[in-house]
């Protein structure tokens, strides 16, 4: 039987309830859906939603991005209760990474999710990276490889499929592929030594899927982004690394994939290059899904997309069936706030100030525009307490008097934040600077570095400021 294009498509949709048109396409063979933060309100609602999805297609792929840190879908309304990859990599205890991964998988299984689009296996080689940062385990390839493997093994063992992203590595770029088409201008030797080891380790650990990246890597393919490159997806991923599972495209509504061509054309190109399951993006409409289906059908009919390629992709996706797991919500083992604070880097001068002003700090959270992958999720101490929030400031005199804590993410990447930090450090001796993003080795040495901005790390920071942390 000829495969329908629906069998390789994974759309998102708006709101917390299943639209009728999505239900109808599931009845017709739609591969599944990708859930985003706006689709998930509570564990109970998630369970009802996924049960309804499966009532229309028992084998449906139900995917989401639960990285367990700054990127969270289960906790998009409150911030994640897990530390995130940046903290895990800095802490460097693979057993702890495994505990976190297994716990995330257990929650997803209880909610009916079958595929987690995680972990991020990118090596964060550029501290100016606007989209990876603390989503990565770090900048050392061997460390990232070890923790990627630990995360995958534990998560897969708990019954939910994993996805290594963003192949062949999104860590060495200062552009966000949601907004542009980045270029990783590295040699083949550098890519093999730096970017590929975590993917090889994750594949060896049993990762079910691998996600492509919307970026150009001229050393591997001078003309095409990875998502559209048979050289990268076939020659490198399939043949060189031996990956036999499902290749998932990153969301095709991102500018790096479809800004110049539109989503339907991008879908055809991705399939032809070797992608099996096409993540279309969030808030996909019925009309757009139909356009994608029509574009694939036309490409098959006129020979631009071999029918065998569509059949092969559909057959691979069909093997992503829900696993038989105990979906009973269990008490999770978690990293608590005390342990999280113990993983922070605190300078000696900061420890002295903390001892002088324990419990007396005024906290000001410097707000940036979050990247699209993160979204508008509560973060830092502001996720768990009533703190002051500032989204731009030119007059430091308006800040609270007394011992002051400035909390930001990627402070060096925001000119007004860097200027504010510099001025206050010159004018006051009772100001602490906390970096909850990626620290830059040559700029704005923070007093406290948390390696992530999840709600858990925000709570841990408040304990530290109160004199209750290490």
Q: List C-alpha distances in Å: 128 to 176, 259, 373, 464.
A: 11, 23, 16, 27
Tokens representing 384 are: 């768990």
Beta sheet of 163-167, edge-to-edge order: 9-11, 277-281, 246-249, 209-212, 163-167
How far, in Å, are 34, 188, 411 from residue 73 at the CA level? 11, 35, 25
Contact (CB, 8 A) for 237 and 305: no
Q: Which tokens is 179 given? A: 């907004």
Name the residues annotated as catalytic: 178, 250
Strands (E), 49-186: 61-64, 115-116, 163-167
Quick check: helix, strand or coil at residue 467?
coil
Residue with tokens 């923070």: 446
Neighbours of 23 (CB within 10 A): 16
Packing angle of the helix pair 286-301, 263-273 (nearest 10 deg): 50
Nearest to 228 by CA among 176, 186, 275, 173: 275
Cβ(148)–Cβ(154) below 8 Å: no
Least Cα distance to 61 among 33, 40, 19, 28 occurs for: 33
C-alpha 411: how far from chain center: 20
SS3 content of the chain, % helix, strand, coil (to 5): 40, 10, 45
Q: How far is it, in rounded angstroms, from Cα 194 to Cα 172?
A: 10
Distance CA 33, CA 15 (A): 13
Quickly count: other Cβ atoms within 10 Å of residue 271's Cβ. 27
d(CA 299, CA 291): 12
**Does residue 11 sit in helix, strand or coil?**
strand
Q: In 244-382, which ranges are E strands? A: 246-249, 277-281, 345-346, 362-366
């Amino acid at each position: 039987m000829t495969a329908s294009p629906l069998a390789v498509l994974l759309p998102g949709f708006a709101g917390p309830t299943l639209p009728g048109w999505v239900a109808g396409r599931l009845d017709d063979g739609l591969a599944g859906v990708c859930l985003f933060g706006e689709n998930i309100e509570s564990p109970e609602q998630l369970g009802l939603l996924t049960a309804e999805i499966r009532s229309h297609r028992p084998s449906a792929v139900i995917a989401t991005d639960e990285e367990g840190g700054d990127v969270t879908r289960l906790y998009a309304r409150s911030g994640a209760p897990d530390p995130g990859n940046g903290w895990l990599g800095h802490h460097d205890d693979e057993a702890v990474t495994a505990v976190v991964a297994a716990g995330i998988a257990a929650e997803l299984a209880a909610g009916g999710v079958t595929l987690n689009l995680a972990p991020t296996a990118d090596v964060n080689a550029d501290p100016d990276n606007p989209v990876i940062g603390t989503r990565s385990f770090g900048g050392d390839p061997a460390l990232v490889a070890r923790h990627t493997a630990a995360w995958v093994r534990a998560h897969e063992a708990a019954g939910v499929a994993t996805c290594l992203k963003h192949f062949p590595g999104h860590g060495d770029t200062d552009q966000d592929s949601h907004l542009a088409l980045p270029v990783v201008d590295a040699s083949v030797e550098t890519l093999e030594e730096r970017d590929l080891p975590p993917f090889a380790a994750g594949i060896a650990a049993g990762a079910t899927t691998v996600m492509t990246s919307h970026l150009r890597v001229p050393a591997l393919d001078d003309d095409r982004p990875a998502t559209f490159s048979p050289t990268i997806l076939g020659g490198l991923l399939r043949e060189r690394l031996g990956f036999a599972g499902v290749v998932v495209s990153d969301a095709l509504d991102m500018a790096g994939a479809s800004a110049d061509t539109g989503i339907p054309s991008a879908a055809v190109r991705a399939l032809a290059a070797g992608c099996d399951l096409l993540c279309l993006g969030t808030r996909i409409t019925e009309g757009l899904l139909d356009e994608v289906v029509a574009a694939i059908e036309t490409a098959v009919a006129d020979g631009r997309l071999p029918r065998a390629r569509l059949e092969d992709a559909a057959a691979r996706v069909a093997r992503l069936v829900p696993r038989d797991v105990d979906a009973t919500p269990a008490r999770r083992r978690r990293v608590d706030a005390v342990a999280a604070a113990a993983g922070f880097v605190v300078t000696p001068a900061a420890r002295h100030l903390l001892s002088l002003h324990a419990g007396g700090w005024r906290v000001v959270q410097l707000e940036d525009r979050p990247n699209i992958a993160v979204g508008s999720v509560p973060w830092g101490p502001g996720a768990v307490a009533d703190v002051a929030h500032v989204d731009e400031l030119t007059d430091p005199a308006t800040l609270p008097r007394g011992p002051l804590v400035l909390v930001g993410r990627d402070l060096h990447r925001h000119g007004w934040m860097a200027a504010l930090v510099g001025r206050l450090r010159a004018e006051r001796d009772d100001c602490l600077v906390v970096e909850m993003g990626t620290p830059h080795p040559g700029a704005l040495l923070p007093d406290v570095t948390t390696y992530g901005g999840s709600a858990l790390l925000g709570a841990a920071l408040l304990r530290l400021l109160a004199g209750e942390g290490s």
